[in-house]
Amino acid sequence: MPAKSNYVANATPLFSILSPAQCEEIFLAAEEVLERTGVTVHDEEARDILKKAGCWLDGIRVRIPSAVVNQALNSVPKRVTLCNSRTGSRDVLLEGNNAYFGTGSDTPFTIDPYTGRRRRSTKQSVGWACKVIDALPNLDFVMSLGIVQDVPLLISDRHQFEAQVLNTSKPIVTTAHDIYGFADIIEMCEIIAGGEEELRRNPFMTLYAEPISPLQHAWEAASKLVLAARKGLPVVYTPCVMAGGTVPATMAGVLTNGLAESLSGLVINQATREGSPFIMGGVFTIMDMSSTIFSYGSPEFNLLMSALADMAHYLKLPMFGTAGCSDACVVDEQAGIEAALSIAMTALSGPNLNHDVGYIEYGSTSSLEYLTINNDVIGMARRLVRGIKVNDETLALDLIDKVGPGGHFLAEDHTMKYFKTETYYPELINRQRYDAWKENGSKTLFQRANEKVKDIIENYQPEPLPQDVQKRIRAIVERAEQKVH
């Protein structure tokens, strides 16, 4: 191998929607929105914190000087690590262009894998979902993939968390109805981690909160940001914005408005305690102007999410992205198309913590088959992002000469060495020849996925929590139940 100099290689494919100058332009516009228009904050404590930080208050309207935004950007950690809840192993490194995938949480409905019927999600369905996620190698973290609705709704968040943590050891992004729910969940996590400091040092969970677009921080959201900062726990803050509905119809306007919401959330969080881990989120998409849905599959959604990833990299903020979801009401060709586009673009852009894998029906319903299918799609996308290595060994000129014109490479050591690493072998995607496929029952991808889901539910055992830990968690859930009664 000769020496080389001045040789630039793409270690991975290079992909961007926005140039650095465009990122700057959008960031400056968002700062202008915060300074000029401001946001409403529906929590008195958060408003006090903002006032002390140097913001201008006018009733619940808060205007934020650019200097305060910049200060928050300076103090926020550029990276956040999430861990395995059983081993504490630091598995999910939210930094740079690392892209991890997981599910979403807030689907009221789910497709039952046994009956095929759409029904309300339950504690059992959430448990099943977490088992399936735990078993799938390309899923890195968990959100509940359903709202538990067969328990008292006011404290369903505690049940939901219990169902998750019993069925998976992967990191959990958790929702809660309010700070009281969060307090209970944090307490459960501290029991599992073995203490408050242990949890802070190796967090296996991050809180989740969202503003209400345009430019509103409700009491629940603002108080969660404050609580997370006080506890020193990571928080995901996710504006869910729809072009033409809650934000302007132009893509740059969507990014400006959405970013202004994220940055104002960041300021609340950092002003409470500098250096708190904060993950910028976003589900940026369009409102379909015919059906008025919040689209989870439009090409604009893909563009916006990739552009937001460019923004996050520009600002050096860990990012919570969205992929593997669909507007289709069943797991059909459309669901496949929309998942492929969003997962491929997400993997190429590299936002860090990407949720909503397994959502169908514009986020109203979850499907475990869809989740399982997307495990393959994520594998495909990850192969794409590994790119092409170019060196003497991979160029293989000696081998080409040895095999010669008209020969073949099947029985070569070089092939043996590389065919499995250079090529991704999906699990459910079928590449059998027609006759073999027919012999195996002419199954569609959905049928194969359904079989796999049922197999996991029936046969897979997640790593259990110690009995005493399980009991103490149960006690917290029961305590909450009692308070409701």
Partner 1 sequence: MTKSQYVRANYQVNATPQFHVLSEHQCENIYYGALEALERTGAEVHSRTALEIFRQGGCRVDGNRVRFPTRLVERAVSSTPSRVVISDRHGHRSMFLEGSNVYYGPGPTNTYTLDPFTGERRRPKKSDTVRAGIVCDALPNIAYAMDNGTPMDVTPTLADVHAFQALLENTVKPIIHWGFGIEQYQDIVEMAAAVAGGLAELQRNPFIVLYSESSPPLRHSEEAIDKAIFAAKTDIPVIYTPCTFAGGVAPATMAGSLVISVADFLVGLVAGQLVREGASFIMGGLISTMDMSSSILSYGATELSLLSAGLTDVARHMKIPMFSTGGCSDSKVIDVQTGIEAAFSILIAGLSGASIVHDCNYMEYGATGSLELMVMDDEIIGMVKRILEGIEVDDEHLAVDVIDAVGPGGHFLGEMHTMAHFRDFWAPTLINRLRYDGWKAEGSKTMGQRIREKTQNIINTHKPEKLPDEVLRQIQTVVDRAEAREAAKKISK
Partner 2 sequence: MSNYFEDLAHSVIAGQQDRVKQLTQQALDAGTDPVEIINQGLISGMNVVGARFKVGQMFVPEVLMSARAMNGGMELVKPLLVGQELPSAGKVVLGTVKGDLHDIGKNLVGMMLESAGFTVVNLGVDAGPQKFLQAIKEHKPGVIGMSALLTTTMLSMKDTIEVLKEEGLRNKVKVIVGGAPISQDFADEIGADGFAPDAASATDLCKKLLA
Least distance to partner 1 from the beta carbon of 144, Å? 20
What is the number of residues in the chain?
Answer: 485
Least distance to partner 2 from the beta carbon of 255, Å? 19
Q: Which of 28, 67, 183, 289 binds partner 2 (CB under 8 A)?
A: 289
Query: How many residues form the binding site for partner 2 (CB under 8 A)?
Result: 37
Question: Is residue 216 a contact residue for partner 2 (CB under 8 A)?
Answer: yes
Least distance to partner 1 from the beta carbon of 404, Å? 6
Question: Is residue 105 a contact residue for partner 2 (CB under 8 A)?
Answer: no
Report how far Cα 141 is from the mean position of its chain's Cα atoms: 8
Compose the 413-452 pattern: x for residues touching partner 2 by CB under 8 A, - for all others.
--xx--xx------------xxxx----------------
HSE value, Cβ hemisphere, 13 Å, CA-based, for 212: 10
Least distance to partner 2 from the beta carbon of 234, Å? 23
Compose the 56-75 pattern: x for residues touching partner 2 by CB under 8 A, - for all others.
--------------------
Q: Quick one: CA dihedral 289, 294, 298, 302, positive or negative?
A: positive
Compose the 139-178 pattern: x for residues touching partner 2 by CB under 8 A, - for all others.
--------x-x---xx-x--------------------x-
Tell me how far CA of residue 416 lies from CA of 410, 411, 420, 422, in angstroms: 8, 7, 8, 11
Calpha distance 301→285 (Å, rounded):
4
Which of partner 1, partner 2, none does 266 bind, CB closer than 5 to 8 A by kind?
none
Q: Enumerate the H helices of 316-412 as residue ranges.
A: 333-349, 368-386, 392-395, 397-403
Question: Is residue 29 a contact residue for partner 2 (CB under 8 A)?
Answer: no
Question: 299-315 vs 20-36: helix axis angle to the nearest 10?
Answer: 90
Calpha distance 255→243 (Å, rounded):
9
Q: Are 311 and 343 in contact (CB under 8 A)?
A: no
| Residue 228: how many other CB atoms lie within 10 Å | 28
Which of partner 1, partner 2, none does 57 bind, CB closer than 5 to 8 A by kind?
none
Compose the 173-192 pattern: x for residues touching partner 2 by CB under 8 A, - for all others.
----x---------------
Q: Which of 65, 77, 88, 245 binds partner 2 (CB under 8 A)?
A: 245
Question: Is residue 410 a contact residue for partner 2 (CB under 8 A)?
Answer: yes
Query: Tokens 């290689």 — which residue?
Result: 9
Which of partner 1, partner 2, none does 154 bind, CB closer than 5 to 8 A by kind?
partner 2
Query: Tokens 């929309």 — which residue?
Result: 338
Question: Is residue 460 a contact residue for partner 2 (CB under 8 A)?
Answer: no
Calpha distance 117→396 (Å, rounded):
53
Tokens of 452: 């796999």
Least distance to partner 1 from the beta carbon of 448, Å? 9
